Amino acid sequence: MEVAPHGAGWTRSGWRALPAAQLPQWPDPRAAGDVVKQLYELPPLVFTGEARRLTRALASVADRRAFLLQAGDCAESFDEFSAENIVDKLRVILQMAVVLTYGSGVRVLKVGRIAGQFAKPRSAATERVGELELPVFRGHIVNDDVPVPAARVPDPSRMLMAYHQSSATLNLLRAYTKGGFADLTNVHAWNQEFVASSAEGRRYEAIAEEIDRALRFMRACGVDLSTDSPIHQVDFFTSHEALLLDYEEALTRKDPDTGEWYDCSAHMLWIGERTHQLDGAHVEFMRGVRNPIAVKIGPGAEPAEVLELCEALNPARESGRLTLTTRIGVNEVRRRLPPLVEAVERAGHPVVWACDPMHGNTFVSESGRKTRHFDDVLGEIQAFFEVHRSLGSWPGGVHIELTGDDVTECLGGIEDILEEQLPLRYTTACDPRLNARQSIDLAFRLAELLRGD
């Protein structure tokens, strides 16, 4: 079979001729066009070489030599934009990565859902708030969540605000991950604090002690763990859902060395469960950019459709290019995942298999709040591992929604958050997130799973 060259017949704006799900209707399309023009002139947020490096790193995940930890907010918020918020999230992700590295015994790639995760796909175009039927909130890059009609009108100037917030966030992430904060000894000390801070945490004392011993061993072998050594720096990549194509198009730039196009709004981008129609605008746009990309695969996906997505998005079968992020729900994974894995593996597509245990396990609590139970999140990951292990494929990673704050949005976990506690600190702009302690708890459970305990 002849393989079409990557991106054949593709242009940056070619998606505009196709049906596009989930995009806002800008009230004044000329004003939106003007913002897109301004964004075209602004500097890229990431460098193409970094995206290529992430593709190579993801190829090592596909090749069973690394594990992917993708995590961050469901939706970043213009209202909660602060250094503290960013750093707290980074700290949790770094803590999880250290625990997972130990558990998996392989390198852990750290990819944040951060510095651009603003646009949200929604299941309905309107929502009811009290007596009012309002246009739905689509993320701060489009409109505001305040429940009054004026706030819900899509405002294209928000794309510029999202760009600048992403730029400042990325700047801080680069400083913190290269400047000493991510020092392995530091991160391990935070984990020790977590373990010591509660009776439940002490369950993980044995693992924490083993990691401690490994660090002492490294020091004894002469590995320099001081802040001047390269070991105190980490690679941290950014990602978000490539939903708002006006924004993504405007940040797509040609690499001067290779002549290829990269979406320089983030290192990695994904297509959501609601926008992966094969003849739709999102698949068309994403097939032409050379970043590593992911597609969310839900419980309704059939093997033939998933194979077509692989062909459309990775016709050259380049390892590291495509991640399939399954988000099936704890009760369906054992039945739904195997046929997908078998079809893709049989066809020889070198994908990274990642598990998003959040989106298939969302339900509305009795008090009317969207939530998820920690046990379902862990349960979907366990089932994901079981399926891959029984088929001989590599359970390559996890995709988690979390925050560094002490929120009460998901039930259960180390402090056993109960239904009646949900209103205490329920602050998400969209889906319920694991709080810091639930996230670290999950990482320790995952470490046990990776070690086969």
Binding site for Co ion (CB under 5 A): 74, 431
In the complex, least distance from residue 51 CB atom to ligand PEP, rounded to whole angstroms: 20
Per rule CB under 6 A, is residue 112 in the interface with ligand PEP? no
Q: Which does 273 bind (CB under 5 to 8 A by kind): ligand PEP, Co ion, none?
A: ligand PEP
In the complex, least distance from residue 36 CB atom to ligand PEP, rounded to whole angstroms: 24
In the complex, least distance from residue 73 CB atom to ligand PEP, rounded to whole angstroms: 9
Distance in angstroms between the alpha carbons of the first and the last residue of the chain: 45
User: How many Å apart are CA 145 and CA 429, to the nearest integer?
Assistant: 7
- Degrees to nearest 5, angle at CA 429 with 411 and 79: 130
**Owner of token pair 């195997």:** 338
Instruction: Return the residue nearest ligand PEP (CB atom).
Output: 272
**Residue among 316, 312, 336 nearest 326 (CA):** 336
Among residues 140, 240, 296, 433, the one that binds ligand PEP under rule CB under 6 A: 296
Q: Which does 272 bind (CB under 5 to 8 A by kind): ligand PEP, Co ion, none?
A: ligand PEP
**Residue among 179, 178, 211 nearest 194 (CA):** 211
Per rule CB under 6 A, is residue 74 in the interface with ligand PEP? yes
DSSP 314-333: -TT--TTTEEEEE---TTTH
Residue whose CB is less far from ligand PEP, 249 or 431: 431
* Greatest Cα pair distance in the chain: 68
User: How many Å apart are CA 206 and CA 29, to the nearest integer?
Assistant: 59
Per rule CB under 6 A, is residue 273 in the interface with ligand PEP? yes
In the complex, least distance from residue 241 CB atom to ligand PEP, rounded to whole angstroms: 6
Instruction: Give how far Cα 65 sits from Cα of 316, 381, 415, Å.
Output: 22, 19, 34
SS3 state of residue 113 = strand
Stretch of 140-148, 246-254, 272-280, 404-412 lying at the interface with ligand PEP (CB under 6 A): 272-280
In the complex, least distance from residue 359 CB atom to Co ion, rounded to whole angstroms: 6
Q: Which does 321 bind (CB under 5 to 8 A by kind): ligand PEP, Co ion, none?
A: none
- Write the secondary structure of 345-411 as one string of H (helix), E (strand) and C (coil): HHCCCCCEEEECCCHHHCEECCCCCEECEHHHHHHHHHHHHHHHHHHCCCEEEEEEEECCCCCCCCE
Residue whose CB is less far from ligand PEP, 117 or 435: 117
Stretch of 271-279, 340-348, 403-411, 414-422 lying at the interface with ligand PEP (CB under 6 A): 271-279
In the complex, least distance from residue 137 CB atom to Co ion, rounded to whole angstroms: 13
Among residues 282, 287, 321, 359, the one that binds ligand PEP under rule CB under 6 A: 359
Kindly identify the residues of this chain, within the stretch 151-210, that bind ligand PEP according to CB under 6 A: none
In the complex, least distance from residue 6 CB atom to Co ion, rounded to whole angstroms: 30
Helix 184-196, helix 83-104: angle, nearest 10: 90
Residue whose CB is less far from Co ion, 121 or 135: 121
Q: Tell how far CA 3 is from the center of its chain.
A: 30
Residue whose CB is less far from Co ion, 74 or 440: 74
Instruction: Identify whether the C-beta of residue 325 lies closer than 8 Å to the C-beta of residue 270.
Output: yes
Among residues 24, 116, 201, 272, the one that binds ligand PEP under rule CB under 6 A: 272
Among residues 72, 121, 396, 404, the one that binds ligand PEP under rule CB under 6 A: 121
In the complex, least distance from residue 123 CB atom to ligand PEP, rounded to whole angstroms: 9
Q: Which does 433 bind (CB under 5 to 8 A by kind): Co ion, ligand PEP, none?
A: none
In the complex, least distance from residue 359 CB atom to ligand PEP, rounded to whole angstroms: 4
Query: CA 242, 302, 290, 112 torsion: positive or negative?
Result: positive
Q: Which does 121 bind (CB under 5 to 8 A by kind): ligand PEP, Co ion, none?
A: ligand PEP
User: How many Å apart are CA 398 and CA 214, to the nearest integer?
Assistant: 24
Q: Which does 327 bind (CB under 5 to 8 A by kind): ligand PEP, Co ion, none?
A: ligand PEP
Residue whose CB is less far from ligand PEP, 234 or 324: 324
Per rule CB under 6 A, is residue 327 in the interface with ligand PEP? yes
Instruction: Give how far Cα 108 sits from Cα of 35, 67, 149, 431, Å.
Output: 38, 5, 44, 26
Query: CA 386, 387, 390, 396 torsion: positive or negative?
Result: negative
Per rule CB under 6 A, is residue 433 in the interface with ligand PEP? no
**Side chain identity at residue 83, one-letter code:** A
Helix ranges, 42-82 (H): 48-62
Chain residues in the site for ligand PEP (CB under 6 A) = 74, 121, 241, 272-274, 296, 327, 359, 431
